[in-house]
């Protein structure tokens, strides 16, 4: 039987990598849903290539374009309910929309998919309470795709907190690792979006360039796994071959290495059949002679200091930080603010007189998350126009 697959955000970097893995083994997969926001041309091309049963275009403006081009596919738009599209549970959903916009579709997919692989870290950071509740209720397996979290999952199967000394998440340091600090304020969006090791969507590339991505990833790990929060550390590893490292209390250190290719975590969550072979470029061992590790320079990456306080600011603080960051990254990409303003304004919102009121809210529904998220978006935008 073919595995029934849905991809939320199929036109993005993770979505395309997922389809690339599937394209090598089309006879074993059936694409039952592809979704995109605006890129209707890519969506149409993918739907034709993979004979998708259903597609969803978020932006209604492109609905007719998609509808006219795809005669054999059911076409939906906007927030159409996945539960209505699928009468029975499908096998696997890749959640690869960027930003908090991915939370609602991710939750819907938990209701109608046996496995949900989540790349969309913003959903985990802001909505883990609800995601985990839904996963229990609907007996759905959640698998992390973010390379560090996929590695931690692999390294800590059947491991308890008492056996673990440290959990280390590596960071490449991005494009500005060796830039003199005084030049940081002048960097342009195109420079920040050019990651030295990974090809990714724009937003995560900017988050990587100032290491907000690692701030998100520590929170993400804390939500996903049951290890003590203080055990998580970040280390700079410019080559990005090592993704995560576990230091055990028995003196052993285990790490996972693989090429900077998201098809590797994707492949390993798509197949439960261990005999399947992924054809990918292997790491040449000679390259491992030059593995470097160093401490994070907090002057170069002040974002990392946010981790000293974010867990004590209230349950909705990550939602506020995420929303502010989404607004700020967008403004930076539009050249409305400078590179250093991103972290500066995030810190400013933590000090706002209304911050506590929203940060202390315990979010138990999408509605609660929206309240904190909306406040943060409006506040951030108003801070920046001054
Ligand atoms: P991307 O920008 O390349 O793609 C985003 C996808 O989401 C596109 O298909 C787009 O159409 C869709 N989308 C955007 N806004 C939407 C909205 N409002 N409603 C519905 N769909 C919308 O992003 P990406 O690099 O593929 O990243 C996707 C997610 O995976 C992010 O959360 C990112 O942090 C995470 N992630 C990515 C990588 C990577 O290598 N790219 C690695 C780890 C984690
Ligand atoms: Mg990552």
**Which stretch of DSSP H or E encloses residue 20?**
helix 13-23
From 7, 10, 13, the mutation candidate for ligand 1 (largest count of ligand atoms within 8 A of CB) is 13
Query: What was the pLDDT predicted at 364?
Result: 93
347 burial level (CB within 10 Å; 0-12, 13-18, 19+):
middle
Q: How far is CA 373 from CA 108, 277, 342, in A?
A: 20, 42, 17
Average pLDDT, the chain: 96
Ligand showing the shortest atom-to-Cα distance for residue 59: 1
Cα separation of 55 and 107, whole Å?
Answer: 18
Cα 95 to ligand 1 centre (Å): 9
Would you place residue 275 in the very low, low, confident or very high pLDDT band (cuts 50, 70, 90)? confident
Q: How far is CA 319 from CA 77, 177, 301, in A?
A: 27, 28, 21
Weakest-pLDDT range from 253-257, 280-284, 289-293: 280-284
71-79: long-range contacts, CB 8 A cutoff, minimum separation 24: 73/47, 79/104
Looking from the CA of residue 37, the nearest atom of ligand 1 is 11
Looking from the CA of residue 207, the nearest atom of ligand 1 is 34
Cα 92 to ligand 1 centre (Å): 18
Nearest CA to ligand 1 atom 7: 97
pTM for the full model? 0.97
Percent of the chain with pLDDT over 70: 99
| Ligand 1 close to Cβ of residue 14 (< 6 A) | yes
Q: What is the DSSP letter of 12?
A: S
Query: What mean pLDDT do residues 160-172 have?
Result: 98
Query: What mean pLDDT do residues 248-268 have?
Result: 96
Query: What was the pLDDT predicted at 198?
Result: 86
Q: Tell me: the pLDDT tens digits for 37-90? A: 999 999 999 999 999 999 999 999 999 999 999 999 999 999 999 989 999 999
Query: What was the pLDDT predicted at 286?
Result: 85
DSSP alpha helices (H): ranges in 100-211? 103-111, 121-137, 147-155, 189-192, 202-209
Per-residue pLDDT at 347 exceeds 80: yes
Contact by Cβ (8 Å): 132, 228: no
Per-residue pLDDT at 156 exceeds 90: yes
| Ligand 1 close to Cβ of residue 58 (< 6 A) | yes
Would you place residue 16 in the very low, low, confident or very high pLDDT band (cuts 50, 70, 90)? very high
For the chain, give me the number of helices (H) and strands (E)? 15, 11
From 34, 104, 148, 204, the mutation candidate for ligand 1 (largest count of ligand atoms within 8 A of CB) is 204
SS3 146: coil
| Helix 212-224 with 147-155: angle, nearest 10 deg | 30
Q: How far is CA 55 from CA 12, 38, 117, 258, in A?
A: 15, 13, 19, 33
| Ligand 1 close to Cβ of residue 11 (< 6 A) | yes
Query: What was the pLDDT predicted at 255?
Result: 97
Query: What was the pLDDT predicted at 307?
Result: 98
Residue 69 burial (CB count, 10 A) = 17
Cα separation of 149 and 303, whole Å?
Answer: 20
Query: What mean pLDDT do residues 345-361 have?
Result: 98
Cα 124 to ligand 1 centre (Å): 14
Query: What mean pLDDT do residues 286-308 have?
Result: 94
Query: What was the pLDDT predicted at 277?
Result: 82
Q: What is the DSSP letter of 59?
A: S
Instruction: State in Å, rounded, how far the first CA of the chain is from the last one.
Output: 59
Cα 260 to ligand 1 centre (Å): 17
Ligand showing the shortest atom-to-Cα distance for residue 148: 2
Cα separation of 348 and 341, whole Å?
Answer: 10
Ligand showing the shortest atom-to-Cα distance for residue 325: 1
| Ligand 1 close to Cβ of residue 125 (< 6 A) | no
Q: Tell me: the pLDDT tens digits for 302-319? A: 999 999 999 999 999 999
Q: Which two tokens stand for residue 74?
A: 């059911």
Would you place residue 386 in the very low, low, confident or very high pLDDT band (cuts 50, 70, 90)? low
Compute φ and ψ for 57, nearest 5 degrees.
-105, 120
Cα 79 to ligand 1 centre (Å): 17
Q: How far is CA 135 from CA 34, 223, 367, in A?
A: 22, 14, 19
Per-residue pLDDT at 174 exceeds 90: yes
Nearest CA to ligand 1 atom 23: 201
DSSP of 276-336: -----PPPPGGGGGG---B---TTT-GGGGGGGTGGGS-TTHHHHHHHHHHHHHHHHHTTS
């Amino acid at each position: 039987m073919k595995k029934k697959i849905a991809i939320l955000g199929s036109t993005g970097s993770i979505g395309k990598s997922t389809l690339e893995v599937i394209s090598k083994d089309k006879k074993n997969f059936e694409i039952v849903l592809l979704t995109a926001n605006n890129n209707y041309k890519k969506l149409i091309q993918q739907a034709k290539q993979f004979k998708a049963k259903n597609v969803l275009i978020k932006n209604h403006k492109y609905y007719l374009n998609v509808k006219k081009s795809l005669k054999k596919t059911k076409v939906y738009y906007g927030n159409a309910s996945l539960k209505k599209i699928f009468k029975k549970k499908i096998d696997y959903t890749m959640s690869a929309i960027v930003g908090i916009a991915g939370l609602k579709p991710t939750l819907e997919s938990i209701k109608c998919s046996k496995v949900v692989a989540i790349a969309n870290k913003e959903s985990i950071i802001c909505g883990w309470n609800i995601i985990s509740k839904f996963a229990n209720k609907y007996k759905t397996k959640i698998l992390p795709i973010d390379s560090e979290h996929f590695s931690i999952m692999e390294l800590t199967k059947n491991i308890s907190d008492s056996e673990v000394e440290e959990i280390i998440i590596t960071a490449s340091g991005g494009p500005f690792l060796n830039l003199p600090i005084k030049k940081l304020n002048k960097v342009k969006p195109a420079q920040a979006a050019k990651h030295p090791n990974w090809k990714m969507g724009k937003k995560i590339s900017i988050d990587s360039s100032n290491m907000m991505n690692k701030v998100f990833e520590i929170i993400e790990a804390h939500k996903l796994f049951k290890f003590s929060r203080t055990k998580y550390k970040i280390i700079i590893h410019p080559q990005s071959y090592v993704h995560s490292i576990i230091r055990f209390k028995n003196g052993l250190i285990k790490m996972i290495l693989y090429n900077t290719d998201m098809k590797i975590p994707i492949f390993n969550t798509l197949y439960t059949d261990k005999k399947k072979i992924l054809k990918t470029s292997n790491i040449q061992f000679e390259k491992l002679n030059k593995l470097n590790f160093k401490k994070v320079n907090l002057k170069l990456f002040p974002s990392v200091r946010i981790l000293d306080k974010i867990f004590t600011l209230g349950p909705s603080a990550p939602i506020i930080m995420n929303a502010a960051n989404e607004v700020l990254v967008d403004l930076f990409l539009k050249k409305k603010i400078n590179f250093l303003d991103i972290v500066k304004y995030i810190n400013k919102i933590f000090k706002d007189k209304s911050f506590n009121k929203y940060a202390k809210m315990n979010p138990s529904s999408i509605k609660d998350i929206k309240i904190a998220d909306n406040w943060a978006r409006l506040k951030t935008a108003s801070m920046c126009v001054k």
